[in-house]
């Protein structure tokens, strides 16, 4: 029996702050994490909490029952323990018209975090992360503002980490995939979550402090863009 206590050789795969703290290098993004076993939607919960919480607070759920997708209230498949379903509360001091740029920062942060884990992904402007032609991450940015003042922004990020093919509906299986399906291995959700938050803060700070400077984000997006050089068609909802 060791005299000096025990060495922790493995830790549970749950996304609480205590578990991801060792990987986190941020000052304020993710320093306050509300963790839920199950929620309708982390965006909905974050909106309820936003007025009373500090910037950088994160809401995470192991599963979402009514995960929200972008178009037409589409459901976002969010099975328990298999992905990263989170929302970051932001309170940028800028015009509401600037907020669209935040989604680009979120996408660039996910792209960089995946790269750090040895996974090359592409950004399908403005808010999808795609690998081998299929979506592995989506971002839903929602905002509350009055006239020209932003009350808060909720950046919802969904990453399909360890989902299996069977987790996707017939309709989605050709369009969406997971990091596990791509790499053939289980990925560490804690490390990935921390890394997304680290990269997000690095890219968000210059944007916030230097009046909307997203040059670093643009460089990442350009380098990994799926659309540059392609003809695109814009459809109105």
CA 36 to chain centre: 16
Quote the Cα angle for 22-42-173, to 5°.
95
Token look-up 């750090």 returns: 116
Task: Return the residues of window 82-101 that contact ligand BTN according to CB under 6 A.
Answer: 85-87
Nearer to ligand BTN, 40 or 213 (CB): 40
Would you count residue 158 as binding ligand BTN (CB under 6 A)? yes
**Using CB atoms, what's the residue nearest to ligand BTN?**
138
**What values do phi and psi take at 144, rounded to 5?**
-120, 125
Minimum distance, C-beta of residue 18 to ligand BTN, in the bound complex (Å): 21
Query: According to CB under 6 A, which one of 19, 20, 76, 201 is a site residue for ligand BTN?
Result: 76
Minimum distance, C-beta of residue 39 to ligand BTN, in the bound complex (Å): 8
Task: Return the residues of window 15-44 that contact ligand BTN according to CB under 6 A.
Answer: 41-43
The count of chain residues that interact with ligand BTN, using the rule CB under 6 A, is 20
Question: Which x/- pattern over 118-157 shows residues binding ligand BTN (rule: CB under 6 A)?
Answer: ----------x---------xxx---------------xx
Minimum distance, C-beta of residue 80 to ligand BTN, in the bound complex (Å): 13
């Amino acid at each position: 029996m060791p005299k000096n206590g025990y060495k922790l050789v493995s830790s549970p795969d749950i996304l609480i702050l205590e578990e991801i703290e060792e990987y986190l290098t941020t000052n304020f993004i993710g320093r306050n994490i509300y963790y839920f076993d199950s929620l309708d939607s982390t965006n909905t919960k974050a909106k309820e909490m936003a007025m009373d919480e500090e910037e950088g607070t994160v809401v995470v759920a192991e599963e979402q029952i009514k995960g929200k997708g972008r178009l037409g209230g589409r459901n976002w498949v969010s099975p328990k323990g298999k992905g990263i379903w989170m929302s970051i509360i932001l309170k940028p001091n800028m015009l509401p018209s600037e907020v669209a740029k935040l989604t680009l920062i979120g996408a660039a942060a996910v792209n960089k975090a995946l790269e750090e884990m040895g996974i090359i992904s592409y950004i399908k402007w403005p808010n999808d992360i795609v690998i081998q032609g299929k979506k592995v991450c989506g971002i839903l940015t929602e905002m509350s503002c009055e006239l020209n003042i932003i009350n808060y922004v909720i950046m919802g990020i969904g990453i399909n980490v360890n989902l299996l093919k069977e987790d996707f509906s017939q309709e989605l299986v050709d369009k969406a995939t997971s990091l596990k399906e791509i790499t053939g291995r289980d990925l560490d959700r804690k490390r990935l979550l921390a890394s997304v938050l680290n990269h997000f803060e690095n890219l968000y700070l210059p944007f916030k402090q230097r009046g909307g400077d997203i040059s670093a984000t643009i460089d990442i997006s350009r380098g990994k863009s799926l659309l540059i050089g392609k003809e695109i068609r814009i459809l109105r909802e």
